[in-house]
A and B are shown apart, each in its own frame.
Chain A
Amino acid sequence: MSVAIETTALSDHIGVEVHGVESGSFGDPALADTLSALLGRHHLLLFRVRDLPVADQIAIMSLLGEVVDEGGNGLRHVFVSNAREDGVLTLGKRLVFHSDNVFTPEPLNVVSLYGLRVVDDTAPTRFANTVRACSLVADSMARELAGARALNLSGFAGGWYRYRDAEVEPHHPRAVHPVITHDTWAGDAALMVSEQQTDRIMDWPADASEDTLQALFALLYHPDNVYEHHWRDPLVNRVWVRTEPGVAPSAVREAIAARLGPSHGLRAVSAADMRDHLVEQARRAFAPMAVIEVVLLLVALLSVGDTLAANVLRRLREIGTLRALGVRRAGVVRIVLVEALVIGALGLALGLAAGVLLGGLWIHRTLPHLLGWLLAFHFPWARGGVVLLATAFVCLVAAILPARRAARLEPAMALRYE
């Protein structure tokens, strides 16, 4: 009996992600055949399940065979950690390729790893396809390796270098296994050597042994033969899905949310929803700008008023001359108002240039980095019109007092001003 589940390839030659198995259903005996078949075909199965209890891990492994008590404490699981005191790794070191328990008389048939606590910059775990690597061994070498056996050993001193028979103390476990064995699940020929734990091919000359092992390692650990699993991949935090013409985005969104949402912690939204969300966020972020704008207008009011008042004081004699030449009081008022509008226009031009420049930088540089979106530059003409009118209004209001003062000057007195 098998269970209908779906898979997605993790890489070209090893591993699939299994969809449709939720936490709590791992103990279902109907899964056993399905998982065995998948392991035989793909050699690595990935389940994305959040907060998976140890009991569930043990339950699913129990479907595939007896779960060993490697730690010897009855827990039937160990911590592989460079952070926990009871972890087996040395802080800050990087593991090299290995096969778990290949240094024992009965190597493990399958290993379950679960990312219990993963820091942001944690190293990836790499998995190599021993069956495919074996299929790529040259026929002549395959013939030489028929019946060949290799010595595998453990160092128990960290996992970041190759253990060598001559260097590891005699009491550390050692086991001799065929170089080419058979995969547990499909029976295919598979290599049973590893970069970390295989010392030599027994009874071979040292050079021939080492050359052959290095050739096998090259096949095993070639990037095409390896899947690199990132436990918490900071580079991929969103995926865009483009629907085929005629397919309703909402239906696709709901399907993605239903099937992948719970297991991956995904939030599925349409582009329109996302855009609306971002627009709303932008509106909220810029909402305080309204207050700042009012404050800035008040500052502009005071600044323009102060500038004009200073101008009137500085140019009393000029104003007196204008009046002596026959300019009416209203003409003087007009001159001050025009000056105010010129100041406003200059300020507006500077503000416009700075605003367009900063807006352009945001649209073309910053936001694409922040959001991953390319946005079109849009000039807010309506708002620009409002700003234009508000500026003109503020400048004219600011000019009222200086203009009145200039107009009320007695020309004879203004002409005496030095």
Chain B
Amino acid sequence: MSAITLDRVGKRYGGGAAAVAALHDVTLDIDAGEFVAIVGPSGSGKSTLLNLVAGIDTASAGRVQVLGHDLGAMADDARSDLRLRELGFVFQTFNLFPTFTAEENVAWPRRFRGDSWHEARRRAADALAAIGLDASARGRVPAELSGGEQQRVAIARALVNEPRLLLADEPTGNLDSETAATILDTFARLHAEQALTVLLVTHNPAAAAHAARQVTLRDGRVAADIRGATRARGARS
């Protein structure tokens, strides 16, 4: 069953002669439970593709279908609800809320779903424990956490609503190689344990090696789509 289907998708920014094409005629099909890395050099359209799948940007041409929903046909509120309930998003720069503690950052998506603050905090604590964040770090604000700890908090926040699809945009881009490897191992473990569909955008081949499938973009087009075995867990990128 397809989790993500891109059918002849194009994306242009601006109009007229100044228009810039970020994606051309991209067709891609990703099954539920796959761990796919989107790789390619800077400006190849990786993040644009991820934004289209997340529904935070809209395609100029073609059709984007996520978990059975045609995003182009959905209203903005419906796309928001889809992100809230079915998608988790991890950013390169973590994007944690600076004035809230790690636990509160993770609790917010549960609050957005309608949980009580108490229940949201409980679920956040569980998510942080599952992701392996030290208990003493839960009460700290992001500025008091290391880069690796912040990214763990961001991953816990992405997973706290138990999504079916995890989207990660250069999640190790701001981390040292050892921490990056730990984070990527976490993705691999989640993918294996929870049959989570993971779409990982990276320009780092070593990071991409954690995925079972690598889709290479170049100049907004799919240049290669290679299916292979995932690297052994614990391998260093």
Contacts and interface: CB of A to CB of B under 8 A. Distances in A.
Interface stretch (A266-274, A315-323, A343-351): A315-323
Interface in B148-187: 157, 161
A329 B76 contact: yes
A330 B80 CA distance: 11
Question: What bracket does the count of chain A residues touching chain B fall in?
Answer: 10 to 19
A412 B47 CA distance: 10
A412 B57 contact: yes
Interface string B187-230: 00000000000000000000000000000000000000000000
Contact of A415 (B91, B97, B108, B112): B91
B85 interface: yes
B77 A329 contact: yes
Nearest to A413: B57
A325 B157 CA distance: 9
A321 B85 CA distance: 15
Q: Is the interface of B mostly helix, strand, loop or mixed?
A: helix
Q: Is the interface of A mostly helix, strand, loop or mixed?
A: helix
Interface residues of B, number: 23
Nearest to A418: B93
Contacts of A331: 112
A310 interface: no
B109 A321 contact: no
Contacts of B76: 328-329
**In this complex, which of B76, B85, B161 has the most chain A Cβ atoms within 10 angstroms of its Cβ?**
B76
A331 B112 CA distance: 9
**In this complex, which of A327, A331, A412 has the most chain B Cβ atoms within 10 angstroms of its Cβ?**
A412
Given A410-B57, A411-B56, A415-B56, A327 B91 contact: no
Contact of A328 (B54, B80, B91, B108): B80
A234 interface: no
Contacts of A415: 56, 91, 95
A326 B109 contact: yes
Contact of A412 (B56, B82, B109): B56
B27 interface: no
B56 A323 contact: yes
Interface in B52-94: 54, 56-57, 76-77, 80-85, 87, 89, 91, 93
Interface in A389-418: 410-412, 415
Contacts of B97: 318, 321
B237 interface: no
A327 B80 contact: yes
A324 B77 contact: no
A306 to B, nearest CB: 21
Given A325-B109, A412-B57, 8 more contacts: A318-B95, A324-B89, A324-B91, A326-B81, A326-B85, A329-B76, A330-B77, A415-B56
The 4 A-B residue pairs with the shortest CB-CB distance in the complex, in nearest-first order: A326-B84, A411-B56, A412-B57, A326-B83
